[in-house]
């Protein structure tokens, strides 16, 4: 490891750079290579699970072990297409191809036969992912107004309002820390790291604003909840045990989904908050750039996807036929 050491020359301390040994440099290069191969933590976990599933499939079907041929890959994808959606298939394919390339094996996904099988699967099952349903703003207001002001209730109310108003992914919401919340005259700035579209650790910021109705204001909700924590650092959304015992254990992202279903209904998922933010903001006149400032989408494709169904209902000439 490179270090600086003082050297006394003519009575003055000077920094002398110690060169890395070849062994140190090789270790460092190997570490960077491995991190590049692994990718983001969530992707790494998903890919590892995909490879485990493939190995189980190979064993069940008595098709040997990894590495696999293009013919085996085509057969695997054909089989998986009967039970999984396109998004799952493409992620598993990416995991398999990365496993082979990282170990210097021929990439079975490069074969023309595999590409033709994928084209056939696309034409058969489609590529459009299921869209998280969006709720309307009155539904959110109604449910948050009725949440009891217990420690758990204050936490859940803050989670729901912040997740919606900040258009947070559930992994981003539970990654928030107390010292990442800065209150301003207009509301609050929430900063965090590690979003889905930011794989290199750059900090992101989202703004929340005071609402006219204190009962549904995301800024007041987070202030009320933070007053309970009585801490200045650590995770923001934490586990609360029986008898309102507040811990310092960060919530899992699955808890965001559970809270959403508990208060809004089983039809909705944690991702419904982002879908609802986009559709409600769009229908209320916000332009795409304003929406993307909060959602952190890189393109307008997802904005269009979120708003398409709502616009079919809200802006449709079939309402004016006089039937």
For 168-190, write each residue's pLDDT tens digit: 999 999 999 999 999 999 999 99
216 exposure class (CB count in 10 Å sphere: 0-12, 13-18, 19+): buried
Confidence of residue 207 (pLDDT cuts 50, 70, 90): very high
Three state DSSP letters for 109-143: HHCHHHHHHHHHHHHHHCCCCCCCCCCCHHHHHHH
For 31-57, write each residue's pLDDT tens digit: 666 666 555 566 788 899 999 999 999
Confidence of residue 8 (pLDDT cuts 50, 70, 90): very low
99-113, 291-305, 309-323: which has the minimum mean pLDDT?
309-323
For 251-265, write each residue's pLDDT tens digit: 999 999 999 999 999
Question: CA 226 to CA 237: how far, in whole Å?
Answer: 9
Percent of the chain with pLDDT over 70: 80
Predicted structure pTM score? 0.68
The pLDDT score that the predictor gives to residue 37 is 58
DSSP codes, 7-23: EEETTEEEEEEPPPPHH
Confidence of residue 109 (pLDDT cuts 50, 70, 90): very high
For 269-305, write each residue's pLDDT tens digit: 999 999 999 989 988 888 888 988 899 877 777 676 6
Average pLDDT over residues 138-163: 97
Omega cis (within 30) before 67: yes
12, β-bridge pairs: 9
Does position 323 have pLDDT exceeding 70, yes or no?
Answer: no
């Amino acid at each position: 490891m490179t270090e600086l050491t003082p050297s006394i020359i003519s009575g003055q301390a000077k920094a002398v750079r110690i060169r890395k040994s070849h062994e140190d440099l090789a270790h460092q290069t190997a570490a960077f290579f491995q991190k590049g191969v692994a990718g983001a933590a969530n992707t790494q976990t998903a890919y590892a699970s995909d490879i485990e599933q493939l190995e189980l499939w190979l064993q069940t079907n008595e098709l040997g072990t990894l590495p696999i041929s293009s013919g085996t890959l085509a057969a695997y994808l054909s089989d998986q297409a009967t039970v999984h959606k396109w998004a799952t298939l493409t992620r598993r394919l990416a995991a398999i191809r990365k496993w082979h390339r990282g170990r210097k094996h021929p990439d079975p996904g490069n074969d023309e036969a595999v590409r033709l099988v994928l084209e056939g699967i696309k034409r058969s099952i489609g590529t459009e992912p299921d869209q998280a349903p969006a709720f309307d703003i009155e539904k959110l207001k109604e449910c948050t107004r009725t949440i009891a002001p217990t420690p758990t209730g204050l936490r859940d109310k803050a989670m729901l309002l912040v997740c919606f108003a900040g258009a947070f992914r559930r992994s981003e919401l539970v990654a928030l820390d107390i010292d990442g919340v800065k209150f301003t005259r207009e509301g609050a700035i929430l900063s965090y790291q590690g979003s889905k579209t930011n794989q290199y650790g750059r900090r992101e910021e989202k703004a929340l604003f005071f609402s006219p109705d204190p009962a549904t204001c995301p800024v007041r909700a987070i202030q009320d909840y933070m007053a309970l924590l009585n801490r200045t650092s650590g995770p923001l959304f934490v586990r609360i045990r029986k008898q309102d015992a507040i811990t310092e254990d960060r919530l899992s992202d699955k808890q965001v989904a559970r809270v959403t279903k508990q208060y809004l209904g089983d039809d909705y998922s944690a991702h419904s908050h982002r879908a609802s933010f986009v559709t409600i903001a769009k229908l209320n006149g916000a332009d795409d750039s304003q929406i993307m400032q909060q959602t952190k989408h890189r393109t307008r494709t997802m904005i269009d996807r979120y708003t398409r169904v709502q616009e079919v209902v809200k802006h449709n000439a079939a309402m004016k036929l006089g039937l």
